[in-house]
Amino acid sequence: MSAERDKMTGRLRKYHSNFYYVEADGVQYECALRGLIKKEGTEPLVGDFVELDSVQPQSKTARIHRVLPRKNTISRPKLANVDQVFVVYSLKEPEFDPNQMDRYLTHIELAGLKAILCISKTDLAATQADLSRIQTLYGEQLGYTVVFSSVRQPETLQVLSKLAEGKISVLAGPSGSGKSSLLNALNPALQLRVGEVSEKIARGQHTTRHVELLTLFADQPDTLIADTPGFSNLKLNYVLPDRLRDAFREFAPYQSACAFSDCLHVDEEGCAVLAHRADIAESRYQSYLNMLAEARQHKEAVNSTSQKAEFGYKQLDRKGKDALRILRLKEKNRDASRRVVRQQVSQLEGDLSEDLRFPDVDAE
Ligand SMILES: Nc1nc2c(ncn2[C@@H]2O[C@H](COP(=O)(O)OP(=O)(O)OP(=O)(O)O)[C@@H](O)[C@H]2O)c(=O)[nH]1
Ligand SMILES: [Mg+2]
Ligand SMILES: [Zn+2]
pLDDT digits (tens, 9 = 90+) for 181-206: 999 999 999 988 888 654 555 444 44
pLDDT at 360: 27
At 169, is the secondary structure helix, strand, or coil? strand
Ligand nearest to the CA of 184: 1
CA of 9 to the centre of ligand 2 (A): 30
Highest average pLDDT, of 31-40, 74-83, 160-169, 195-204, comes from 160-169
- Main-chain phi, psi angles of 70, to 5 degrees: -110, 155
- Strand-pair category, 212-215 with 224-227: antiparallel
d(CA 229, CA 310): 41
pLDDT at 336: 55
Rounded to 5°, the CA angle 164-178-139 comes to: 55
Q: Could you tell me which residue, 352 or 320, shows the higher pLDDT?
A: 320
Percent of the chain whose pLDDT exceeds 90: 63
CA of 242 to the centre of ligand 3 (A): 11
Indicate if the pLDDT at residue 352 is higher than 50.
no
Ligand nearest to the CA of 273: 3
- Strand-pair category, 49-56 with 61-67: antiparallel
Residue 315's pLDDT band (cuts 50, 70, 90): low
d(CA 106, CA 234): 10
pLDDT at 33: 94
Q: Could you tell me which residue, 102 or 199, shows the higher pLDDT?
A: 102
Closest CA to 12 of 35, 58, 43, 38: 43
Supply the mean pLDDT for the chain: 84
pLDDT digits (tens, 9 = 90+) for 199-252: 555 444 445 567 889 999 999 989 999 998 777 678 899 999 999 999 999 999
pLDDT at 331: 57
Cβ 199 under 6 angstroms from ligand 1 = no
CA of 307 to the centre of ligand 3 (A): 28
> Are the C-beta atoms of residues 172 and 228 closer than 8 Å to each other?
yes
User: Residue 163 has what DSSP assignment?
Assistant: H
d(CA 301, CA 299): 5
Mean pLDDT value across residues 134-160: 95
